Amino acid sequence: MKCRPNNLNFKITNSSGPNGNNTSTHSIVSKSKKPRDKWMELQGIKNWEGLLDPLDDGLRDEILRYGEFVEAAYLCFDFDTSSPDYATCRYPKGSMLSQCGLSKTGYKVTKCLYATCGVHLPRWADHRVPSWASTRSSWIGYVAVCNDRDEIARLGRRDVVIAYRGTATCMEWVENLRVALTTLSGDMAQSDRESMVQSGFLSMYTSTVGPRPSLQDSIRDEIQKILTKYGDEPLSITVTGHSLGAALATLTAHDINTTFKHAPLVTVVSFGGPRIGNKNFRSQLEKSGTKVLRIVNSDDPITKVPGFVLNEGSTKMSEIRPLKWVQKCVEETQWVYAEIGKELRLSSKDCPHLSDGGVATCHDLKTYLHLVDNFVSSNCPIRTTAKKVLNRSTQQEIKQQILC
């Protein structure tokens, strides 16, 4: 199979860190083909059957387009710990996307989103750590609605994007380390009391501090407004994020589908996401119609944690009576996760410019977008004309930054 020609000229910006600058020129939106005729297939209504291997060019463009929205979530975040505005958004809501080079996307930001960590540092640490290290509530992303008539016509529907960045604060790292599974509570659990998700991610989604609402309440409030305003027209909701943001994206999509009975098609496009829940949670997602596309770099260790996954494709343990009991006991622990959604698996090793990169490089959003841009199929993993977009200085910069 011939590798596809280099026709995108896609320029990727730095995906995270305090020194991330906006170097993007034009959005990929202007160069992608019109997806209106098969937008539901691109959003996963048929679980991306026949679109992943080889990778459909229309789907590639959509993945990269949503990747730009995640990139914007990083670029907008204030990483400067000496700044009085640390952990907030650097720009006003009305100019966020234009500041990130996405003014021509046709989307308008309607809501800034904050996530709160439910854990506290121990009292002995109060006077031993700087105040920024104990920041519990921080800007995590935004909701944007497509309002441009031409873009709505090109897409075939009005699209709503919810975009999340990855881990940036110390307290978020603490939540990442709370890896035991916990039962979904309240209306998110529905009737399945065995549906479980990672404790830290759920905490960040549902916790509150002071007068600020939880991320969950903010999402529900904003989606209700959007459905009330646009519910009578073709509509889609796409939740996208990188790393921690990928986990929150899955929780968000699940919450939308369980909260709103007549929700439109809800799709998750995640980059480098960790595991998030058990097989009962996966079953709930599938029953609700939530579509999840996981972009995975097989050389990225973050996608292989937390916990462990039982090999569901091997000889069924249930066929052997003694092992059936062992399997049941293991599955009832708080460490057995399940792989969720449809997977587009890539590999840094297939790209000569990335094969010698470390963990930080493998996990960086820039790397993911580069691999998607150049992936062809399992028979031709990377097109031969793939350009080098990660130079040595950029790789060193990535290694020095906190990434998740």
This prediction's pTM: 0.86
Over residues 100-109, the mean pLDDT reads 97
Residue 318 neighbours by CB under 8 Å, 6+ apart: 324, 327
Domain extent at residue 199: 28-306+340-399
> Does some domain include residue 119?
yes
pLDDT tens, 346-381?
999 888 777 677 889 999 999 999 999 999 998 888
pLDDT tens, 223-278?
999 999 999 999 999 999 999 999 999 999 999 999 999 999 999 999 999 999 99
In degrees and rounded to multiples of 5, residue 112 shows phi and psi of -90, 140
- The torsion region of residue 380 among left (phi > 0), alpha (psi -120 to 50) and beta comes to beta
* 3-state SS, residue 349: helix
Q: How many domains does the chain have?
A: 1
**Do the bridges between strand 181-183 and strand 196-198 make them parallel or antiparallel, or are there none, so unpaired?**
antiparallel
pLDDT tens, 288-326?
999 999 999 999 999 999 988 876 554 454 454 555 555
Q: Give, for 63, the enclosing helix (H) or strand (E).
A: helix 57-76
> Does some domain include residue 20?
no
CA distances from 145 to 57, 152, 189, 356 (A): 24, 10, 28, 39
Residue 400 has pLDDT above 50, yes or no: no
Which CATH number goes with the domain that contains 272? 3.40.50.1820
Residue 18 has pLDDT above 60, yes or no: no
> Does some domain include residue 70?
yes
* 3-state SS, residue 80: coil
Residue 363 bears catalytic tag: yes
pLDDT tens, 39-89?
999 999 999 999 999 999 999 999 999 999 999 999 999 999 999 999 999
> Does some domain include residue 325?
no
> Does some domain include residue 229?
yes
Q: Do the Cβ atoms of 350 and 378 come closer than 8 Å? A: no
> Does some domain include residue 316?
no
> Does some domain include residue 218?
yes
Q: What is the mean pLDDT of the chain?
A: 85
Q: Do the Cβ atoms of 10 and 369 come closer than 8 Å? A: yes
Residue 300 bears catalytic tag: yes
pLDDT of residue 1: 34
- Report the distance separating Cα 309 and Cα 243, nearest Å: 18
Which of 27, 363, 364, 370 is an active site residue? 363
Which of 16, 214, 243, 270 is an active site residue? 243
Tally Cβ neighbours within 10 Å of residue 8.
17
Q: Is 289 exposed, middle or buried (0-12, 13-18, 19+ CB in 10 A)?
A: middle
- Report the distance separating Cα 137 and Cα 336, nearest Å: 29
Over residues 153-169, the mean pLDDT reads 97
pLDDT of residue 333: 64
pLDDT tens, 111-150?
999 999 998 877 776 677 888 888 999 999 999 999 999 9
**Do the bridges between strand 107-116 and strand 137-146 make them parallel or antiparallel, or are there none, so unpaired?**
antiparallel
Which of 300, 348, 353, 364 is an active site residue? 300
> Does some domain include residue 176?
yes
